[in-house]
Chains A and B, each alone.
Chain A
């Protein structure tokens, strides 16, 4: 196994050392200080022991199991879709790709509500099943529903990461296997899949950790069956009004989640070592030859439509009906909800604010994540793997708790009621998306290029910026795209940090939903999704034609 540690002498190089110090300073101020503030706030209250309750233990177990299972399921779904959509010449792949990524854009609580409309005890599908087979098909409420919905909402993250990794596998390898007599399937199993392993692992880690923090899905789908997670318990403490100084207790829940992730990182370290190093290649992997393209194509279309278009159309119907429960007929359909949303000042201001915040967060996390990811995989600077772990921590903490950390700091920073506060909270929470996106493809690229640059006389800094960083650029772009899409509809952080008279898109949708304006909430979600899909179509086309 070739070593990925490059230059023995680089510790002595001031320029790279400076970059490293800068990155540490950044993580210290943007990640560790706010996270430490809220953790200390919880610990200093001395109330951690109040969490030693059977219900909290059960919730911790539910959090762990739902996050791990949904993480695995999301990676499996993504792998299947990536192989079919990105590794074959199936008709309509561009449309499939965009559709498959659409769940990213729908706020989880809105997605959960449309799934409940389909698979709730008296949802559309279960009522239909009642008529056909005499019993409901499957009730979404409970642990299984939470796991499934978490997976369906998070698989696009793994999809983007796996696509980036797949694009890095040189075509020569599969060609060599096929030239030696292996069929497509064998080449897939023995060449492609093993080479995707690092990306599979880093997307699993990313999805699992971020699902630990999700609140909307377990709150809506788990609650009816009394299925609680640590995230819903933290919110329950704050909302029930029966707990004194409830935020302290919520912060303690945050500490428990951080401990869980730290323990998980120690475990996962054993699996995440790269086992292969690839020579960088400019040729793309040849698509798989399909024996029955229409069969696979049909199945894929059905599956993708089932998991994306079905809930989207439920949302669209809701948006087109003036009020819920009105009969679905041509006369009743109206664009009233859309026009009222488009005319409301909140939607315009929310769009501007969310778009600025999301672009800002994508830009900053893109640049910083690129630097962290490159330092971590392409150099042997001290503390580089710790840097990655630090960036991953905030992802596991529910938005409420992240926001409390920043809110406690805000007056000292002079940022109280300032949009910059939300921007930094987004950067903190979403940095891991870029860092993780870079890790897998770069770790499995051999250091030959940097060595070649050095041999040809480039300085260490030059080799770093012209070779290593450039190698990481496509993955960083994919990561930044993820940040953009996640931040543009973000709810739980901004809900607490917004200044008076300001709203983000996520908060605007949530406010409409809470006020009973379900149609307007659905209309705004549909608009965000469609605009996001169009934007994503443009961006991914650029990424793919580069």
Chain B
């Protein structure tokens, strides 16, 4: 190697080490602040905003976020547990069945919050180990440039008018979509027959909610089965998109929050959970286009009030029981 090359390499290495060190240095700049770690699948921008608001309520608690899709979160948590304790204090993601799994493994601690009383019973764990934070229904979204009126019911999606126009997330891949498939499967007026009729319209099975929202907004598949808040976000940004809450009712999850038993900062973690389900936290959720879990937090612009929506209520045990069957039925009809 020539001198110059060697010098250049040395320079490069030094610069690099500097960069890496600066990337490492999160540092203890907080003065006496408590830090908790949150695992969540909330969209990055939404969780950033929420935490900024939380910082005003509890300036002495710093929340560090590991944000990832539900799958990566599961993988990270499982691997954490294999090596010892969860790498987080608080978990805000997924659905009740996921938290039931945590509960069975004895991972969660009992929540101690007066705010729990403001959340209806069906949206929290009877033993108080987790509580819902946002109501996320799956609805029918449509492109307003392509259609004047929304399909008013799930049944209507099977009409010839929508042949080749529909897209929905893959229940085999997404936990939330699998949950929905089980709920539809359990409905007397929908069930396997509805799957078969829907399959007749050859819907495009997309990987997850993200691509569904995009193709509805772009109009490449102008009708989609997708979570409601995402379409309100797109509508607000200017996309020709709107949602309809089908008259038979909507399947939904309530995205629970819970605290891991292994936490060393139980008090700070509890304060964060309190905030999330408090009136202020819930009003903030509404501002972020989510349906809240409390009646006193209002409703997002353009969305119906909670008491105007009919929710498909099914027992967790029933859902878990039929999930396999429902996925098979979906696969052989809609997916086939």
> Are A517's CB and B45's CB within 8 A?
yes
| A374 vs chain B, min Cβ distance (A) | 13
**Residues of chain B with a CB closer than 8 A to A273's CB:** none
| A234 vs chain B, min Cβ distance (A) | 10
Choose one: A219, A245, A357, A507; the contact of B207 (CB below 8 Å). Answer: A219
> Are A323's CB and B239's CB within 8 A?
yes
> Are A408's CB and B83's CB within 8 A?
yes
Known: A239-B173, A400-B75. A325 touches B178 (CB 8 A): no
Report the bound CA distance from A234 to B12 in whole Å. 38
Determine if B149 is an interface residue (Cβ-Cβ < 8 Å). Answer: no
> Are A325's CB and B218's CB within 8 A?
yes
Of A157-165, A297-305, A443-451, A493-501, the segment with at least 4 beta carbons within 8 Å of chain B is A493-501
**Residues of chain B with a CB closer than 8 A to A219's CB:** 173, 207
Determine if B310 is an interface residue (Cβ-Cβ < 8 Å). Answer: no
**Residues of chain A with a CB closer than 8 A to B19's CB:** 352, 355-356, 359
In which size bucket is the chain B interface?
A: 35 or more
**Residues of chain A with a CB closer than 8 A to B333's CB:** none
Determine if A246 is an interface residue (Cβ-Cβ < 8 Å). Answer: yes
Choose one: B215, B233, B240; the contact of A326 (CB below 8 Å). Answer: B240
> Are B16's CB and A363's CB within 8 A?
yes
Interface string of A485-503 (1 = CB under 8 A from B): 0000000000110111111
Residues of B87-112 contacting chain A, CB below 8 A: 87-88, 94-95, 97-98
Choose one: B24, B74, B164; the contact of A121 (CB below 8 Å). Answer: B164
> Are B78's CB and A247's CB within 8 A?
yes
> Are A500's CB and B37's CB within 8 A?
yes
Known: A113-B211, A239-B175, A500-B65. A226 touches B335 (CB 8 A): yes
**Residues of chain A with a CB closer than 8 A to B67's CB:** 511
Residues of A379-393 contacting chain B, CB below 8 A: none
Report the bound CA distance from A323 to B82 in whole Å. 43
Report the bound CA distance from A280 to B191 in whole Å. 72
Determine if B44 is an interface residue (Cβ-Cβ < 8 Å). Answer: yes
Determine if B187 is an interface residue (Cβ-Cβ < 8 Å). Answer: no
Report the bound CA distance from A408 to B173 in whole Å. 24
Report the bound CA distance from A219 to B24 in whole Å. 33
Report the bound CA distance from A120 to B219 in whole Å. 12
> Are B44's CB and A239's CB within 8 A?
no
A interface residues, how many (CB within 8 angstroms): 73
**Residues of chain A with a CB closer than 8 A to B215's CB:** 116, 120
Residues of B219-253 contacting chain A, CB below 8 A: 219-221, 230, 233-234, 237-241
Report the bound CA distance from A423 to B46 in whole Å. 29
Interface string of B11-54 (1 = CB under 8 A from A): 01100100110111010000000000110000111100000000
**Residues of chain A with a CB closer than 8 A to B45's CB:** 515, 517
Additional A-B contact list (6), CB under 8 Å, known A403-B75, A420-B24: A116-B215, A120-B204, A242-B178, A325-B240, A407-B76, A503-B44
Measured CB to CB, the residues of A under 8 A from B are: 41, 113, 116-117, 120-123, 141, 219-220, 223-224, 226, 232, 235-236, 238-242, 245-247, 250, 322-326, 346, 352-353, 355-357, 359-360, 363, 400, 403-404, 407-408, 410-411, 416-420, 423, 465, 495-496, 498-503, 507-508, 511-519
Query: What are 30 residue pairs bridging A and B, where the CB atoms are less than 8 Å apart in the complex?
Result: A113-B214, A120-B220, A121-B204, A122-B220, A123-B220, A220-B206, A232-B173, A235-B173, A238-B74, A239-B69, A241-B98, A241-B175, A241-B178, A242-B327, A247-B75, A323-B238, A323-B239, A324-B234, A346-B44, A360-B16, A363-B12, A407-B83, A408-B79, A411-B84, A419-B20, A495-B69, A501-B65, A503-B44, A516-B210, A519-B237
Please provide the 3 A-B residue pairs with the shortest distance between their CB atoms, ordered closest to farther: A515-B43, A239-B71, A241-B175
Measured CB to CB, the residues of B under 8 A from A are: 1, 12-13, 16, 19-20, 22-24, 26, 37-38, 43-46, 64-72, 74-76, 78-80, 82-84, 87-88, 94-95, 97-98, 143, 145, 164, 170, 172-175, 178, 204-208, 210-211, 213-221, 230, 233-234, 237-241, 323-324, 327, 331, 335-336
